[in-house]
Amino acid sequence: MSAFAGKSVNIERGKTLMKRKLTVLMAIMLVFAMLVCLASCGSSDDAADDVEVFTTDEAVYTESATPVGNTSEEVLNYFNGIVNDLKASKPAMYYRYEKNVPDGSIKVTKAGQEKAEEIDASLSAINDGAKGVKNMILSDIGEQSGDIAMGADNSEYLLVKGESWVSQLTIGDIDYASMKEIGDNYFIEIMFNDIETNGDDSALRKAFDLRDKEEILASDEFAKTAEYLKFNDYDVAYSGCKITATVNRLTNELVNLNYYKAANVTAHMTGAGTFADYGDISVIFTLEDTAYYEIKWESNLPVSPLETEA
């Protein structure tokens, strides 16, 4: 074989290898895109930093439109009444949804080696490209925002989407609820218990949007990757879920509403066809899903001169 022919063969092999790696990366990207709706909730870090949260032990209560006790149950019941009024009263709102996969949280491993410190050398290129894949996905779905006019239907923007209510939480669904009164505002924090892998997520469904696992696994999109990478199943654990809110205590009107949730996902995949030598692999990542609402109860539209005439 001539040197030129040998070089051509090497080039073709290089192209094949590159195509192979790119194909697997695209399949992993598809997993991210499909699983990203696991968590439709949450306050952005910036929004959360604007709200100072205190425990009920430090609360000092003064005269309010609705005085609230300092137990978790009393705070939660008050919150439910205030937040569920949003879909009925339909105030003007600004909303922002954000999704993020923190740097360093993505890892592709051989099945059974999810907790190993060293990653199989055959997967090193995929792991090196994981950050770029994440950035490609988040550039399209990382943030959505907009405004809702006063009186407009907001049921598809507020959690839980499509329902007439926003929260059906009971005291047994949460870790604690706390409130602090400062000036004219109540500052509320509702914290959830962490949920172990594939644990009962019924409490989250009373305040957050979650897709059903069966719906995700049955998606037609996964059929497109089946010839080279089969998506088998996934495990998910939730941590750090919380809701924070600011309420004008003199009017019982919400000022802002924040949600945060982190889903720790392990997707189980198997190489197929020409990629069968990858065998069973796991794609591990953390998905942070956040949402922020700024509520406006009065319109700032200019008054018509006709309305000011005597």
The rounded average pLDDT for each run of 10 residues, N- to C-terminus, in the chain (310 residues) is 52 56 64 60 43 46 77 97 95 93 84 86 78 70 86 94 94 96 94 95 95 81 77 91 96 96 90 83 89 84 43
Close Cβ partners of 77 (under 8 Å, ≥ 6 residues apart):
none
pLDDT recorded at residue 119: 83
pLDDT recorded at residue 203: 97
| Vertex 193 angle, CA 190 and 198, to 5° | 135
41 CB neighbour count, 10 Å cutoff = 25
pLDDT recorded at residue 245: 98
Phi/psi for 293 (5° steps) reads -125, 130
pLDDT recorded at residue 308: 40
Omega prior to 101 cis, within 30 of 0:
no
Tell whether the torsion through CA atoms of 145, 291, 83 and 49 is positive or negative. negative
pLDDT recorded at residue 26: 63
pTM: 0.79
pLDDT recorded at residue 124: 80
Tokens matching residue 270? 């198997």
Q: Quick check: 254 and 89 in contact, CB under 8 A?
A: no
14 CB neighbour count, 10 Å cutoff = 10
Q: Quick check: 130 and 164 in contact, CB under 8 A?
A: no
Q: What is the tens place of the pLDDT at every residue in 238-289?
A: 999 999 999 999 999 999 999 999 999 898 989 888 778 888 988 888 889 9
The C-alpha atoms of residue 245 and residue 81 are separated, in whole angstroms, by 13
Helix axes 3-35, 124-141, angle to 10 degrees: 50
Residue 264 DSSP code: E
pLDDT recorded at residue 42: 43
pLDDT recorded at residue 230: 85
Residue matched to tokens 């654990």: 237
Closest CA to 181 of 257, 310, 74, 70: 70
Q: What is the tens place of the pLDDT at every residue in 84-100?
A: 999 999 999 999 999 88
pLDDT recorded at residue 139: 67
